[in-house]
Each structure stands twice: as structure tokens, then as C-alpha cells.
Amino acid sequence: MGKKTGGDANKLLLFVKDPRAGAFFAVLLLSLHIVNTFFAKNGVLQVPLGLVSTLFVPGYLWLPVISKRTVGAMELVLLSIALSISLVIFSVSITSLVLKIPLTGESVPVVLALVSGLGLALRRIFLKRIL
């Protein structure tokens, strides 16, 4: 049994060593979500921005809050997508069924932006505590 060398070299840190770099990327993703929500109506970029901001951003921002391990790039993308789908379904269901807010083209993106923003805030608090 040989010792694995460079095993961590091809891994991405879920918690970025420099919290400012991770925060910059998280704010960039949240900004993408907000731009798609309010400014990309009926444009060429609406579908790609909508897919990224709905299927990746919420999960990516919440992943460090619920996981403490290092993951590879593919696992990071897949976990972010799976978590995003769960968060979207949960937050929209709570908004509709519990809060009795009607689901419209304006209310759903606002709810997703709030969920992503909460994930960003918790990510910042969690990273400060870990690092």
C-alpha cells in the first residue's frame, strides 16, 4: 500500500483559505442571481443566468454551512445543484403554503434571492468561526 501523493492537490477547499476570496465569489454569484431576477427579462441571457442562479447559487452559498469536508470540483458542483434543488423546493413551498404568499414571477426570484443572501450571511459567519 503506497502512500497517496498529491491527493489534496486536485481538491477544492469548500472553505477558501482566504475568506475574502470566498466572499467575493459568493457575492459575485448572488449578484448574478439579482441581475437575472430584475434585469434579464426576455433577453438572451435569461435562460442561462436563470439556470445558474436557480440550480447552483443557493446550494453553493449554503454548502459550507452544512458541510465541513473538502470536496473535489465535480462533487462541489453536484452537491451545490442537489442542495439548490432542495432549497428552492423547500423555500417556495414554505412561502406558498405557510406564509400564504402567492407564487408569481416576481415573488419566487425574491424568495430565492433572500435564501441565497441568508446562505451568504451564514457562510461569512461560519467561515470567520472556522478560520
Overall pTM surpassing 0.85 (yes/no): no
Indicate the helix (H) or strand (E) that contains 106. none
pLDDT band at residue 93 using 50, 70 and 90 as cut-offs: very high
CB–CB of 63/79 below 8 Å?
Answer: yes
Averaged confidence pLDDT in the chain: 74
Q: What are phi and psi of 7, to 5 degrees?
A: -65, -35
The 10 Å CB-count burial string (b at 16+, else e) for 69-95 is eebeeeebeebbbebbeebbeebbeeb
Residue 125 to residue 120: CA distance in whole angstroms: 9
pLDDT tens for 36-57 read: 666 666 667 777 777 887 888 8
Give the ranges where 57-103 is alpha helix by DSSP (H): 57-66, 73-93
Position of cell 446550494? 59
pLDDT at 5: 43
Residue 117 to residue 131: CA distance in whole angstroms: 21
Residue 113 has pLDDT above 60, yes or no: yes
